[in-house]
A and B are shown apart, each in its own frame.
Chain A
């Protein structure tokens, strides 16, 4: 193997990306746990973790930029590095959505939920499934798995639409407006996290096939 140094550095940024995926997904899980259990301390921990996620994304970007400048990769190598940067950006955004959910949890505080949050839980579980699946697909460079993620995203989108619609009906009562707004925002954050998973699936298609694909409607 002639390009051992390049292979080594490429492996390092891919490992960094996997670490970022773990951190962001964990942060999202913890934020939702804080939301369900009304755990303010846990919500604060999620907010405190975010700078670490942001920093890791910057490190990945810097490493990729240096690799492109010094090694001048082409074809699959170049696409792999571009996709690492794009996927890192999506994962960092998922970390931001975790922070948003944590902040809404703090805003809701100990106040009981004014409606069942089961539909939001269902959305969340599907989103976590998508995120786990995209990490596996990424490691295996498996486009079949990546394609399945788009199906789940359609389900999350449908659940979001129904849940938001039901929440809007509740918000006619003035006393619930603040919490319903928070629940709607949590809903939207989860839906956006699912969208980022789909984005990463599309990046994976670009990496493997060298073409741009739109995975859902």
Chain B
């Protein structure tokens, strides 16, 4: 007599990563239009503390628009209109009276291309704290060292802090930008394809860094590199035509996705 028993009632991939972390950012029925173009449609996502959430999808699917909405950078585009909510620690970031400066202090961003300021390495990192009123040299020194250590670049630049950041390699510049982001002690770090302009070694260094950083920060990363999403994220959201097709643990998305469109995309059959 055949008994069809699963050897594992819980998928092995899902074991041990059930998360109890609190939600740090949530979107509820979030919509965004560029003029008449409906770019994001009813996005419902929850991002947890100390987790890496990856957003994947083909070009034009809305993933960069979404990540830019998380710290209201989309507002820089005049024709943008939104509806629904994005909550940061329970408060709608689009609500009246929410100071965008306050939001961006807590929700920092790292961009696709390294964009250090044309200043010394030290001044790049000290820039944010100075704007926030920190003038004490000793405190600034401590922030600079801590931030550069946090971005895993201290040992490479500690002897040339007064040199221009433009003299560094692309991978080092990107880690300087991450350090600059850490200097204002954010809660959430948004990364928009942070390694797409980097060589493989620099890419691996940034990936390692993301893994270390999640112990202290919550990270949302947009990436075109699906193996990168598989390697470094805890959860993955698959966007298509402005909608979230599937959002689940990364292990499930890359092994047994429930939507055929996700399977087709991650296995390279469209995109």
Interface residues of A (CB under 8 A from B): 1-3, 6, 72-79, 147, 150-151, 154, 210-217
Contacting pair A210 B256 (CB below 8 A): yes
| Distance of B112 from chain A, by nearest CB (Å) | 22
Chain B hits for A215, CB < 8 A: 2, 4
Known: A2-B268, A2-B271, A77-B267. A72 touches B6 (CB 8 A): no
Considering the complex, give the chain B residue whose CB is closest to the CB of A153: B2
Chain B hits for A72, CB < 8 A: 227
Chain A hits for B269, CB < 8 A: 1-3
Chain B hits for A77, CB < 8 A: 267
Chain A hits for B1, CB < 8 A: 151, 154, 217
B136 at the interface (CB under 8 A from A): no
Chain B hits for A151, CB < 8 A: 1-2
Chain B hits for A75, CB < 8 A: 254-257, 263, 266-267
Question: Chain B's interface: helix, strand, loop or mixed, by majority?
Answer: loop
B230 at the interface (CB under 8 A from A): yes
Over the window 1-25 of chain B, the binary record of Cβ atoms lying under 8 Å from chain A Cβ atoms (1 yes, 0 no) is 1111111100100000000000000
Could you jot down 8 A-B contacts, CB within 8 Å? A1-B269, A2-B271, A75-B256, A150-B2, A154-B2, A210-B256, A211-B6, A214-B3
Q: Looking at B254, B255, B267, which has the most chain A CB atoms within 10 Å of its CB?
A: B267
Chain B hits for A150, CB < 8 A: 2
B226 at the interface (CB under 8 A from A): yes
A2–B269 Cα distance when bound, in Å, is 5
A73–B226 Cα distance when bound, in Å, is 11
| Distance of A130 from chain B, by nearest CB (Å) | 13
Known: A75-B255, A212-B7. A147 touches B2 (CB 8 A): yes
A72–B228 Cα distance when bound, in Å, is 12
Name B268's contact: one of A3, A76, A212 (CB within 8 Å): A3
Contacting pair B2 A3 (CB below 8 A): no
Contacting pair A73 B267 (CB below 8 A): yes
A76–B263 Cα distance when bound, in Å, is 8
Contacting pair B255 A74 (CB below 8 A): yes
Chain B hits for A1, CB < 8 A: 269
Over the window 196-231 of chain B, the binary record of Cβ atoms lying under 8 Å from chain A Cβ atoms (1 yes, 0 no) is 000000000000000000000000000000110010
Considering the complex, give the chain A residue whose CB is closest to the CB of B268: A3
Q: A151-B1, A210-B256 are in contact. List 15 more A-B contacts (CB 8 A).
A: A2-B270, A3-B267, A3-B268, A6-B268, A73-B267, A75-B267, A76-B267, A147-B2, A210-B255, A211-B8, A213-B6, A213-B7, A214-B7, A216-B2, A216-B3
Q: Looking at B3, B11, B226, B227, which has the most chain A CB atoms within 10 Å of its CB?
A: B3
A214–B6 Cα distance when bound, in Å, is 6
Considering the complex, give the chain A residue whose CB is closest to the CB of B11: A211
A79–B263 Cα distance when bound, in Å, is 12
Chain A hits for B4, CB < 8 A: 147, 213, 215
| Distance of A84 from chain B, by nearest CB (Å) | 16
A212–B268 Cα distance when bound, in Å, is 25
Considering the complex, give the chain B residue whose CB is closest to the CB of A1: B269
Chain B hits for A73, CB < 8 A: 267
Chain A hits for B7, CB < 8 A: 211-214
Known: A74-B226, A74-B230, A74-B254. A213 touches B267 (CB 8 A): no
A11–B255 Cα distance when bound, in Å, is 21
